Structure 1
Amino acid sequence: MPADKPHRAPLHDGFVPGRHAIDAYGGGGFRFADMSHVGSLLALPSGVHAWKGVTTPRDLTLDAFAPVLEEASEIELLLVGVGADLVHLQESVLWGLREAGLRVEVMQTGAAARTYTILLGENRRVAAALLAVG
């Protein structure tokens, strides 16, 4: 599933409505819905959003998850792809997400993208917050 290099076409205004499987990842971005995006992504019930300003695990603050929290009532499970290496979320971030009623699983971006696509295919109430990997 890793992509050599995604095309450089940006999301339309940073947003594509609807739920879309992640077809490929790598090269600093993702492919989905017959388009590509360079940078990190939020795959939410409302659609796929560019995750602006989030490029490293250091950027994974509770404020960065604000768009996720806005849709928390429609999400059963949040998959957080933290990059090529597994790192833990800060406890305050993890608890903030859980207090919103979210079940949170943290994993490498590749695993998160694959798991998201599988669960989406099962019509589960899943969302993904994915850091881009090189």
Structure 2
Amino acid sequence: MGRGIVIRQAHFPGRAPIDAYGNGGFRFADMSHRGSLLLLPSGVYGWGLDEGEPLTVAAFERVLDESKDIEVLLVGTGKQLRPLPAELKAALKALGISSDPMSTGAAVRTYNIMLAEQRAVAAAVIAV
């Protein structure tokens, strides 16, 4: 019997600036990824959130798990800025994380700058 296809969670260990975004994905570290991303201290992860889907606390669970290493979370909400729900803002604030929603393009640019400054930054960016 064959084992079948093993689907691995998309994960890049380490921190990397985003080189490009658009066409439903991102380019970083000489790789391309279709879909949304979480850019965390432990690495870059595929994130199963599409533009327009609710920004729930559950969707940000991995971010909350790494809160001790994050001071600022940039949230790229897609083409348009969407405010973060009060419940999500409160969950982040309770862990000492300042959250800043903006368009995905602005989040990518800000993340790259803060990463270069070696700040304790993370980003959750929805593919556009």
Q: Is the pair's TM-score, using the shorter chain for normalization, greater than 0.5?
A: yes
> 1:30 and 2:26 equivalent?
yes
- Which amino acid in the other structure matches residue 62 of structure 2? P
Q: CA deviation at 1:76?
A: 1.2
Which segment drifts farther, 29-38 or 58-67? 58-67
Q: CA deviation at 1:62?
A: 0.2
> 1:98 and 2:93 equivalent?
yes
Which segment drifts farther, 121-130 or 90-99? 90-99
Residue 4 of structure 2 is matched in structure 1 by none
Partner Cα separation in structure 2 for residue 117 and residue 59 of structure 1:
25
> Aligned to 2:53, what secondary structure does the other structure show?
helix
- Which amino acid in the other structure matches residue 74 of structure 2? L
Identity %: 53
Q: CA deviation at 1:56?
A: 2.4
Q: Specify which of 32, 36, 50 is matched with residue 55 of structure 1.
A: 50
Superposed CA deviations along residues 11-67 of structure 1, whole A, max 9, x for unmatched, are: x73100000001110000000000000000000000000002x10243310000000
Q: Which of structure 1's runs of 4+ aligned residues deviate more than 4 A?
A: none
| RMSD, aligned CA | 1.0
Q: How does 1:105-116 map to 2 (within 5 A)?
A: 105-116=100-111
- Which amino acid in the other structure matches residue 116 of structure 2? G
**Structure 2 alignment gaps of length 5 or more:** 1-7
Q: How does 1:1-134 map to 2 (within 5 A)?
A: 13-52=9-48, 54-133=49-128
Greater Rg by CA: 2
**Structure 1 alignment gaps of length 5 or more:** 1-11
What TM-score comes out, normalization by structure 2 length? 0.91
- Which amino acid in the other structure matches residue 93 of structure 2? R
Partner Cα separation in structure 2 for residue 100 and residue 56 of structure 1:
26
- Which amino acid in the other structure matches residue 80 of structure 2? D
